[in-house]
Amino acid sequence: MAPLRLPSPIQRRVEDAARALMSADGFQIDFATPPGAPALTAPDSVSWRLFKNPISLFIGGVGAVLLELAEPKVRSGVWDHTRFRTDPVTRLRRTGLAAIVTVYAPRAVAEAMIEGVNRRHARVTGTTDGGAAYAADDPDLLDWVQATASYGFVEAYDRFVEPLGPALKDQAFAEAAPAARLYGALNAPGSVAEWEAALAAMDGRLEASPVIFEFLDIIRAAPALPGGGRLVQPMLVKAAVDLLPAPLKARLGLEAAGLSPLERPLVRTMAKAADRLVLESAPPARACVRMGLPVDWLYRPPEARSAA
């Protein structure tokens, strides 16, 4: 299907919102410069295709956090050492910007950002409520965080935008590996089979917690999405819950927290439309300009992209 643009006044407001979402703590990147500078992944990668969709990105990100909060050490690190409870929107924007920079920014910019994240992680240590010591730069925990992120973003796109199929899913996991290693996750999954093995290995450590329900309450109500997006935000959170494997969802007490049969097609409709919506001020379009491609290149059908 052809790229989509909204009526001018609405398009301007959405573009302004996209610019605001792509900044955190006054830090903003021009993804269009320097010309020709490669990212960690190429424009024709599965990653560039997936990360351009703000709806599936939100769903996948929330789903990843749910999986992370089910692990006690990760949960304590996130809950005790971030501003999520007091300033969730800033935290979400910072996390979202980090993901976008990793995919679309010039390699040097992404590497510098990741170095900064690693320095902050090196200072995060503590003890869980159960008495277990943890450190945010523990490779085992980093592997799990990277695994959940890859799974969340891939699965959200596959379920709510369009099916990717086994080969493209494997490719998406593999494309995340270079950035994962920079973060210190040396054994993050590079395929669906490796993700399933990582989930099975972690299964005995995943548990229910009141923090998970507190997180869901916060993310439903926080003004994370612009304008009318806030009206559908609770429904997108339900979609994120649905990404969890059914047995784990039951263990966490989230069986009734997913989408209803009526809501599921609505989320798919929104996600499919978002996949065609060209936001010229957003990183995917700006990164295309940097690489000498048309601003709407990522939003074109595959046959039109290959002809560009």
Give the integer Cα–Cα distance in Å for 267 and 279.
20
Looking at the predicted structure, is the pLDDT value of residue 126 above 90? yes
Cis amide linkage into residue 166, ω under 30° from 0: no
Residue pLDDT, tens place only, 99-120 = 999 999 999 999 999 999 999 9
**DSSP at 291:** T
When pLDDT is cut at 50, 70 and 90, the band that residue 164 belongs to is very high
Single pTM value for the model? 0.93
Residues composing the chain: 308
Residue pLDDT, tens place only, 210-226 = 999 999 999 998 877 76
Domain chopping of the chain, boundaries: 38-294
Give the integer Cα–Cα distance in Å for 243 and 258.
9
How deeply is 219 buried, as exposed, middle or buried, from its count of CB atoms within 10 A (0-12, 13-18, 19+)?
buried
Looking at the predicted structure, is the pLDDT value of residue 4 above 70? no
Give the integer Cα–Cα distance in Å for 118 and 101.
15
Nearest to 117 by CA among 183, 66, 29: 183
Give the integer Cα–Cα distance in Å for 52 and 279.
9
What is residue 181's predicted lDDT score, i.e. its pLDDT? 96
Backbone angles phi, psi at 27, to 5 degrees: -95, 120
Nearest to 134 by CA among 181, 72, 85: 72
Q: What ranges in the chain are assigned the alpha helix state H?
A: 8-21, 46-50, 54-69, 72-81, 88-104, 107-121, 139-160, 165-182, 192-202, 210-221, 229-242, 246-251, 263-276, 283-290, 302-307
What is residue 94's predicted lDDT score, i.e. its pLDDT? 79
Residue pLDDT, tens place only, 134-153 = 999 999 999 999 999 999 99
Looking at the predicted structure, is the pLDDT value of residue 64 above 60? yes
Cβ burial 19-33 (10 Å sphere, 16+ → b, else e): eebbebeeeebebbe
CA torsion 50→56→59→63, rounded to 10°?
-30
Whether the Cβ atoms of residue 244 and residue 63 lie closer than 8 Å to each other: yes
